[in-house]
Chains A and B, each alone.
Chain A
Amino acid sequence: MSIVIPVAVVAGLGLFFGLCLSFASRVFAVKTDERIEKVRELLPGVNCGACGFSGCDGMAEAIVNRGVHPSKCPVNSQETVSAISRLMGLDGESVTPMIARVICQGTPANVDKKYDYQGLQDCHAANQLAGGSSSCRYGCIGLGSCMRACPFDAIEIEDGLARIIPEKCKGCGICVVECPKGIIRMVPADMGYTVLCANRDKGVVARKSCKVACIGCMKCQKVCPAGAITVEDNLAVIDYEKCENCGKCEEVCPQSTIHDILHERVPA
């Protein structure tokens, strides 16, 4: 008989908790958007985190609730993107894929060294020491933090400068966050012309720190037929919503700062 009571107690506890929980899940049920579930099923489900959210669940939630575009997922195939877009009522076809681009030409030929850096081979570490050893405090440090962060091996360090290989870049944007200088930008993949400089110093100072720095001369702004270029804080910025990729800005740039990076190798 002595076995009955313990069994009854444990079974009773289990039954009681089970009932409590099922009751609670009814009473406290939270309505979730069923689209999240559907979008989640369409996503690759590898939880790589390249989209910048906490796995595919986070991405699905962001697509439904925060209006993030499904193409933010670099692993998605075109079919998946359009399937999710249809589900969300978005126009899936008109999406221009974005790729990352390093806006700096600070190779050793163009910039001087402030000092000889011998510390940890990491951009963040070097950046803490007077903003890196380059004479331009805005430019690429070239120790490859972005290269190591890139999940697709799409970044190479060439001549002391990070370069993004357009064919491999999936546009996940991880390098943009990683770069301590903030000189990696997301641009539409079909747009070649880029202002390859992030220097916001006045013209004279900028030219002293780098031979190919943007000096804010406004020539590109004046010549641009689409009105896509504006010079702010002594730095030209191309608005790719307006840019027609005509290349007139490259012709007038006295500093050789603007280049069609898709179709020419940047002269070092």
Chain B
Amino acid sequence: MKDLFSILLLAMFIENFVLSKFMGICPFLGVSKKTSTALGMSAAVVFVNTLASAATWLVNEYLLKPYELEYLQTLAFILVIAALVQFVEIVLKKLVPPLYKALGIYLPLITTNCAVLGSALLNVERNYTFIQAVFFGFSAGLGFTMALILFSAIRERLETCDIPEAFKGMPITLIAASLVSVAFVGFSELVIK
């Protein structure tokens, strides 16, 4: 239990995918304009990240390791993730239409997101067990959610701020993103015992 809790802290704060590892920056900047879209995207990331962590762990353990093909991880994982998301999308569309609608366009969008591939590769690199790997994927998704919602709130506030002409739009967004990231550096010294 303690072990899982430390993974949660690690994935959400110390190694927040977006703010400390700089993975998944595209959706972080792309869909953080409104809190509602940020929520949709985050839900998709949590969902896909958890599933992908499980699937890639299995593929690595039972297919790549026996043949000593660990160097194919990146390639194999991309294949697995893409196929998995496609499959899940088809199944959801048929069986759980409300969830399919809620995740909407974000589900296919995040297929090629490096945050998902990143968590899969980190799982392998750190020799996590199956449970740990799935939980790490889930926590990383939660960390992404936190970052995205925090940032979308900031951007909604920025909308009504008096910003110098030259900084309007993307420039001020990037500056704000860097400041949020700097704030998260504070967590990097956190040591879990």
Using CB atoms and an 8 Å cutoff, list the residues of chain A in contact with chain B.
5-6, 9-10, 13-14, 17-18, 20-21, 24-25, 28-30, 120, 122, 124-125
CB pair A9 B67 closer than 8 Å: yes
Is B79 a contact of A14 with CB atoms below 8 Å? yes
> Contact between B72 and A24 (Cβ–Cβ < 8 Å)?
no
Contact call B94/A30, Cβ cutoff below 8 A? yes
Taking CB as reference atom, which chain B residue is nearest A8? B67
Given contacts A5-B69, A28-B95, 14 further A-B contacts (CB under 8 A): A9-B64, A9-B69, A10-B79, A13-B63, A13-B76, A13-B79, A14-B79, A17-B79, A17-B83, A20-B83, A21-B83, A21-B90, A30-B93, A120-B162
CB of A25 within 8 A of CB of B72, answer no
Name the interface residues of B34-79: CB closer than 8 Å to any CB of A: 59, 63-64, 67, 69, 72, 75-76, 79
Give 17 CB contacts A-B under 8 Å.
A5-B69, A9-B63, A10-B75, A10-B76, A10-B79, A13-B80, A14-B79, A17-B83, A17-B87, A21-B83, A21-B90, A25-B90, A28-B90, A28-B94, A28-B95, A29-B94, A124-B160
CB-defined contacts of B59 to chain A, threshold 8 Å: 13
Contact residues of B with A, CB < 8 Å?
A: 59, 63-64, 67, 69, 72, 75-76, 79-80, 83, 86-87, 90-91, 93-95, 160, 162
Contact A125 B160 (CB under 8 A): yes
Determine the distance from Cα of A13 to Cα of B75 in the docked complex, in whole angstroms. Answer: 11
Instruction: Enumerate chain B residues within 8 angstroms of A6, measured Cβ to Cβ.
Output: 67, 69, 72
Q: Are A9 and B87 in contact (CB under 8 A)?
A: no
Q: Are A120 and B160 in contact (CB under 8 A)?
A: yes
Closest residue to A29 on the B side, CB-wise? Answer: B94
Nearest CB on A from B124, distance (A): 16
CB pair B72–A10 under 8 Å, yes or no, is yes
Q: How far is it, in angstroms, between the C-alpha of A122 and the C-alpha of B162 when the chains are bound?
A: 11
**In angstroms, how far is the closest chain A Cβ from the Cβ of B69?**
5
- Leading 10 A-B pairs by shortest Cβ distance: A17-B83, A28-B94, A24-B90, A28-B90, A30-B93, A5-B67, A30-B94, A6-B69, A24-B87, A13-B79
For B91, what are the chain A residues with a Cβ–Cβ distance below 8 Å?
Answer: 24, 28
Assess A9 versus B86: contact at CB under 8 Å? Given A28-B91, A120-B162.
no
Q: A24 contacts which chain B residues (CB < 8 A)?
A: 87, 90-91
Pick from B79, B90, B94 the residue with the most CB of A within 10 Å: B90
Q: Whole-angstrom distance between the alpha carbons of A125 and B161 in the complex?
A: 10
Please give me the residue from chain A that is nearest to B83 by CB atom: A17
Q: How far is the CB of B25 from chain A (nearest CB, A)?
A: 24
Q: Which residues of A contact B72 (CB under 8 A)?
A: 6, 9-10
